[in-house]
């Protein structure tokens, strides 16, 4: 099964590029930029990645990314990830990034944009891999700051495929960002948002109603609300589920307890993604393989999941058709 899953043309829709920072690169960049890390070794870093919830992860996620200072750092980060993803049979990656987490450290907006864009172009040139860029807002900071970032990003509107919403979910409901997302909509920028990861099903409904999102990131809490499940089934709004992330952040106890099979049985449009591969135990292929082991899914199920992601990705129609053809031959 693993060989077959490897060859399946996989599309990654939910990836925080800062969450792809492997400990080895973290140390290399810390040295290059003369930044002190509170870790003695790679093993020390890995030992620290024992999370009790989303916040305990976010604390280390923001700590680790302090080593990212220059365009070259962001280029190296993205290039390392895109190369690994290519090796796993991933054919299209949508990178999300958190500009506020960099601006607050004095790293200007142009730095991540330029560095990431360079790596995205390089991946296309080298491997024919396609990519998209999602600029995410931090929901645990105020909406005015998010609005200021959106305005500041004006020179990059053409290269922003969507805006997103991430970071600490509880107590930071989608409606807090109503105006920001309304402005993005007026600018013609598509919208996605994390909802129903740690937060309740009501946050998913609110994100659909108030933020007018085209995809729900995570969304695993949807089963709490039968009417919402029916809405998701009818509308086929996709959910970017991240199984290994949910295990590591204790959203579920083990992968076998994950609601994925039930969500699928209800006809919800599911995709499988890695979220923060350096922190959660692997990339897209690892998530596919883990699900194969936990749920004993057959090839048709994986064809459907891979197909869902191709159908809803931010990519040119010609590319979509070519990938669907490639998938049908698997
Ligand atoms: N959830 C919310 N915010 C995040 C995550 C996540 O899993 N990863 C990076 N930012
Ligand atoms: Zn996420």
Decide if 184 contacts 163 (C-beta within 8 A): yes
Return d(Cα 123, Cα 79) in angstroms, integer.
Answer: 7
Task: Report pLDDT digits (tens) over 261-278.
Answer: 999 999 999 999 999 999
Q: Say if strands 10-16 and 90-97 run parallel, antiparallel, or are unpaired.
A: parallel
pLDDT of residue 194: 99
Q: Give the CATH fold of the 2-22+77-328 domain.
A: TIM Barrel (3.20.20)
pLDDT category of residue 306 using cuts at 50, 70 and 90: very high
Decide if 266 contacts 233 (C-beta within 8 A): yes
- Ligand 1 atom 7 nearest Cα: 275
Write down the domain spans for the chain.
Answer: 2-22+77-328
Return d(Cα 272, Cα 291) in angstroms, integer.
Answer: 9
Task: Report pLDDT digits (tens) over 138-149.
Answer: 999 999 999 999
pLDDT of residue 170: 98
Neighbours of 110 (CB within 10 A): 13
R_g of the chain, CA atoms, integer Å: 18
Please confirm, yes or no, whether 114 is among the known catalytic residues: no
Q: Mean per-residue pLDDT for 70-98? A: 99
pLDDT of residue 272: 99
pLDDT of residue 1: 96
Q: How far is the CA of 322 from the centre of ligand 1 (A)?
A: 31
Ligand positioned closest to the Cα atom of 61: 1
Q: How far is the CA of 300 from the centre of ligand 1 (A)?
A: 30
User: Which of these is catalytic: 18, 22, 71, 197?
Assistant: 197
Return d(Cα 216, Cα 263) in angstroms, integer.
Answer: 14
Ligand positioned closest to the Cα atom of 275: 2
Q: Mean per-residue pLDDT for 210-234? A: 99
Q: What percent of the chain has pLDDT over 90?
A: 100
pLDDT category of residue 167 using cuts at 50, 70 and 90: very high
The alpha carbon of residue 84 and the mean position of all alpha carbons in its chain are separated, in whole angstroms, by 16
Return d(Cα 81, Cα 122) in angstroms, integer.
Answer: 12
């Amino acid at each position: 099964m693993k060989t077959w899953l490897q060859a399946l043309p996989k599309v990654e829709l939910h990836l925080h590029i800062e969450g792809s920072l492997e400990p080895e690169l973290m140390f290399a960049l810390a040295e290059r930029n003369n930044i002190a890390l509170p870790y003695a070794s790679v093993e020390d870093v890995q030992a620290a990645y024992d999370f009790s919830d989303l916040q305990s992860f976010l604390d280390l996620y923001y700590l680790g990314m302090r080593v990212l200072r220059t365009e070259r750092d962001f280029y190296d980060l993205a290039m390392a990830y895109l190369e690994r993803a290519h090796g796993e049979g991933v054919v299209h990656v949508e990178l999300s990034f958190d500009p506020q987490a960099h601006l607050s450290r004095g790293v200007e907006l142009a730095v991540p944009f330029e560095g990431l864009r360079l790596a995205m172009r390089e991946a296309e040139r080298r491997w024919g891999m396609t990519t998209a860029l999602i600029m995410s807002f931090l929901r645990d900071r105020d909406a005015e700051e998010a609005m200021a970032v959106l305005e500041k990003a004006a020179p990059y509107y053409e290269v922003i495929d969507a805006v997103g919403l991430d970071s600490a979910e509880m107590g930071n409901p989608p409606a807090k960002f109503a105006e920001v997302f309304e402005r993005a909509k007026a600018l013609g920028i598509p919208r996605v948002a994390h909802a129903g990861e740690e937060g309740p099903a009501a946050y998913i409904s609110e994100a659909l109603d108030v933020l007018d999102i085209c995809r729900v990131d995570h969304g695993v809490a949807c089963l709490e609300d039968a009417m919402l499940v029916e809405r998701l089934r009818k509308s086929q709004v996709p959910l970017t589920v991240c199984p290994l992330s949910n295990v590591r952040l204790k959203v579920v106890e083990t992968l076998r307890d994950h609601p994925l099979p039930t969500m699928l049985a209800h006809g919800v449009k599911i995709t499988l993604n890695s979220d923060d591969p350096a922190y959660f135990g692997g990339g897209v292929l690892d998530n596919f393989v883990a699900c194969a082991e936990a749920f004993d899914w057959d090839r048709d199920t994986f064809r459907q999941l891979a197909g869902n992601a191709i159908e809803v990705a931010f990519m040119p129609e010609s590319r979509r058709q070519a990938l669907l053809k490639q998938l049908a031959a698997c």
